[in-house]
Structure 1
Amino acid sequence: MNRRRIAVVTGSRAEYGLLAGLMRLLAADPRIELQVVVTGMHLEPRFGHTIEAIERDGFAIAARVPILEDGDSELASARSVGRAVIGLAEAFERLKPAMVVVLGDRTEILGAAQAAMLLRIPLAHIHGGEATEGAVDDMVRHAITKMAQLHFAAAEPYARRIIQMGEDPSRVHMTGAPGLDAIRDLRLKDAPELGAELGFPLEPGPLLLATYHPVTMDPTASVAGIEALLRALDRFPQARVIITGVNSDAGRDAVTGRIAAFSAGRANVLVKDSLGQVNYLSAMALAAAVVGNSSSGIIEAPALGVPTVNIGPRQGGRLRAASIIDCAEDDGAITDAIVRALDPAFRAGWPNPLSLYGQGDSAARIAAILAEAEPCLIKPFRDLGV
């Protein structure tokens, strides 16, 4: 039997955590030959060299495609996309997949989509149709949607938006967010176990889990934003604070430098470039609040019943659960939002279920469709109301 070759592209620790469950299902399916293509931050020691985590999980790497330029300027980002198109096109030409699977809106994924399109390889896209008004990711995501033939949306409004962009409704599937699968399937660690592994006692708390990425639509705002967040965190000396690594977007060096300076000499603060999926979700489940501007505060934290303090415009446009407190990039506003998140009364009015992004069965639904879907390159534009 000829197995269907499906190439899954991953470029960052966060996105790999969302893809890992799907990759395991594809690898176990006798009808499918999984080809894992690794690029971007995974291959860089400065970002934790997280390809090692993929290999520890038992996946064979079909291709390694280094793309990141030195520096964190907009020009470096643009050059990295160019390298991604070239390197991933060469990898796809060698691997000859029947389909390429990508997730999200990172710039290296834009390169993967362009390479697949130009080589006439059908593209499947997970997490399309969403809006993040404060990030270049928004335009990247919608561009990938128009290059893809198969779509897996995390929520019904996002599926409608993909259709609104002219895509065939029969090829748009509302499967939920893959990040919720791990919450359901993984064994998360308790505070003593996680604290011992990190060498950072988590008790007494409260524990605050913080992530802050550059605001790519306004890079100058990133410095003001991280400084405001750090001033706010400093007002909770009784808290244990874990700050996770910054992504590779333009402006990262300034954000990383300020985090490093803040953590120096503060025994209640731990900075980790990469916690790994299990440790990250374990820390999130144990946290009194998730603070910052990461999508995990919008999607995964509500599924764990953890309050989120969402800072600034980066996640503007995403669906919001009742557990999310939006605030400006101002230390006073962030402080007030953290105080509110720590108040037990804040949780009292939450609906059940809280999550808006599915039931934790996304990977199985996506894998079943990928195994059966007929590859199709031609996609007429579907006008609405005509």
Structure 2
Amino acid sequence: MRSVAIVTTSRADFGIYIPIVKELEKSKILNYFFIVTGSHLSPNYGYTIREIEKEKFKIGEKGEILLSSDTPSSTVKSMALALNFFADVFTRRKIDLLLVLGDRFEMHSAALAALPFNIPVAHIHGGELTYGAIDDSLRHSITKLSHLHFVATEEYRKRIIQLGENPENVIVSGAPSLDNLNFVKILSKKEIEKKLDIALEANFLIATLHPETVGGESNGKNAKILFDALEEFDYQVVVTAPNADPQNSEIRKVIYDFAHNNRKIKVFENLGTQLYFSLMNYASAMVGNSSSGILEAASFNLPVVNIGDRQKGRTRNKNIIDCPFDKRKIVDALKKATGKKFKDSIKDCKNIYVKGNASKIIVKNLEKYLSKGVNVRKEFYDLKVGDRVK
């Protein structure tokens, strides 16, 4: 059996991994275990390792690397702690392949630490763009540290080849998180209310706001603009708390201040995949800057008001309304998103990120890659001047 170590750092990437792990458990040649770190182990972010334990997935290693502060300095120090942690893991473990996902700094530390150990890295969700976050640079850097690439769309495949990666190792899998729709049971409204201990109104919004980490000196101000607009719009709002990016505390303070003074704002640190998908199924619209609005909401025909630059660069489905941090424009965008005309226009929205079997594609190609013998030496794939990426 070949050993695949899966790095998970937060509630967000774990939800994406679930269908992949279910496929890995069927494999006759691959064995897996999770390396758990990041916000999973922080009480401040809901101690979400419990979600992994609840699924009874195999946890092989866990390590605390997040400092309590959310400054740029503390982020760099957390990256250094992560490098030390992964160095220790890779020293004591035999790992045939490291599986990483997305663009978190913890993921980057894992991929970077694997380099001196000659551990091949497979990367999911490369080739994407997010101009409003440092994640953009981290994602492309992880691409160069990786040997096998699973991308969501053909456009992203071409971008990775532009970065000098061999086309044979760049596979369009679609977004694996959407495979969850094949087996996650959508809860009824009453079941949601019981689990969350709230009464859902007929019209409610889902809101998530993460920090903009490139030129994002005004994250607190931006959060206030959004919640001022939400108060004026006067829908019930189910809020999921921001991630562990730098300056997230500024956003958190605004959220909890507004929630304290407005009974229509309900805040949850972590919902998990089933509750989150169930809420998306019944919500009137989604608002904020979460990648789930870009990748997953279209599968629920859910209108999304995407605010600011955090997701700027990602390919859009037609359910997205882009909007700057401007109170009046946010209110107007929400009116449009919840209006009958726009809702009718996205009734048959086809999600461009759906392949239908992303997890099977990923696991099949992991098996193929590890079966043929691994060469960790990479050569830069040059495009000649005037060449079009195929």
**TM-score of the two chains, using structure 2 as the length reference:** 0.96
Q: Deviations over 1:210-240 (max 9, x none)?
A: 0000000023121221111100110132x22
**Superposition pairs for residues 61-210 of structure 1, below 5 Å?**
61-203=59-201, 205-210=202-207
Distance 1:137 1:99 in 2: 23
Given that residues 212 and 310 in structure 2 are in contact (C-alpha distance below 8 angstroms), is that contact kept between their aligned partners in structure 1?
A: yes
Q: Which residue of 2 aligns with 1:38?
A: 36
Alignment partner, residue 293 of structure 1 = 289
Q: Is the 8 A contact 2:207 2:239 kept in 1?
A: yes
Match of residue 354 from structure 1: 350
Partner of residue 278, structure 1: 274
**Shift of residue 18, structure 1, vs aligned partner:** 0.4
Question: What is the identity, as a one-letter code, of the residue corresponding to 1:311?
Answer: I
In terms of mean alpha carbon deviation, does 352-361 or 180-189 score higher? 352-361
Kindly provide the CA deviation profile for residues 251-297 of structure 1, in whole angstroms up to 9, marking residues without a partner as x. Answer: 01111011000001322211000011110111111111010001000
User: In structure 1, what is the Cα distance between the partners aligned to 2:193 and 2:86?
Assistant: 39
Is 2:260 the counterpart of 1:264? Answer: yes
Determine the structure 2 residue equivalent to 1:345.
341
Q: Distance in 2 between matches of 1:350 and 1:258?
A: 32
CA RMSD of aligned residues (A): 1.2
Deviation at 1:342, TM superposition (A): 0.4
| Aligned partner letter, 1:379 | K
Pick which of 146-155 and 357-366 moved more: 357-366
Q: Deviations over 1:332-381 (max 9, x none)?
A: 11111111000011023338442111233111110111112142211110
Deviation at 1:201, TM superposition (A): 1.2
1:98 deviates by 0.1
| Matched residue, 1:312 | 308
**Alignment deviations for residues 119-166 of structure 1 (CA, whole Å, 9 cap, x no partner):** 110000000000000000000000000000000000110000000100
User: Shift of residue 318 of structure 1?
Assistant: 0.3
CA contact (8 A) 2:19 2:177 kept: no
What is the CA distance between 1:30 and its match in structure 2?
2.5
The unaligned stretches of length 5 or more in structure 2 are: 386-390
Q: How many residues are matched?
A: 382
> 1:316 Cα shift?
0.3
Separation in 1, partners of 2:146, 2:348: 34
Gaps of 5+ in 1: none
Q: 1:246 aligns with which of 242, 246, 260?
A: 242
Q: Is the 8 A contact 2:10 2:40 kept in 1?
A: yes
Aligned counterpart, 2:330: 334
- Alignment pair present for 1:325 and 2:321: yes
- Are 1:220 and 2:217 matched, yes or no? yes
SS of residue in 2 equivalent to 1:173: strand
Task: Tell me which amino acid in the other structure corresponds to 2:56.
Answer: G
Distance 2:347 2:179 in 1: 21
Paired AA for residue 303 in structure 2: P
- How far apart, CA to CA, are the structure 1 residues paired with 2:39 and 2:274? 19
Calculate percent identity across the aligned residue pairs: 38
Q: State which drifts further: 220-229 or 39-48.
A: 220-229
Task: Please tell me the residue identity of whatever aligns with 1:174.
Answer: V
Q: Give, as a single letter, the amino acid of the residue that structure 2 aligns with 1:340.
A: K
1:208 aligned counterpart, secondary structure? strand
CA distance in 2, matches of 1:23, 1:118: 27
Q: Distance in 2 between matches of 1:122 and 1:102?
A: 11
Conserved 8 A contact 1:40-1:67: yes
- Residue matched to 1:379: 378
Paired residue for 2:49?
51
SS in 1 for 2:20: helix
Q: What is the TM-score of this pair, normalised by structure 1? A: 0.97
Give the conservation status (yes or no) of the 8 Å contact 2:240–2:270: yes
Structure 1: which amino acid aligns with 2:83?
V
| 2:388 corresponds to | none
Decide whether the 8 Å contact of 2:125 with 2:175 is kept in 1.
yes
Query: Contact between 1:190 and 1:286, CA under 8 Å: does it hold in 2?
Result: no
Q: In structure 1, which of residues 26, 32, 37 is the aligned counterpart of residue 24 of structure 2?
A: 26
**Other structure's SS at 1:219 match:** coil
* CA distance in 2 between partners of 1:62 and 1:286 (Å): 37
Aligned partner of residue 157 in structure 1, secondary structure = helix
Report the Cα distance in structure 2 between the residues aligned to 1:349 and 1:254, rounded to whole angstroms: 36
Whole-angstrom distance in 1 between the partners of 2:190 and 2:86: 42
d(CA) in 2 for partners of 1:8 and 1:140? 18
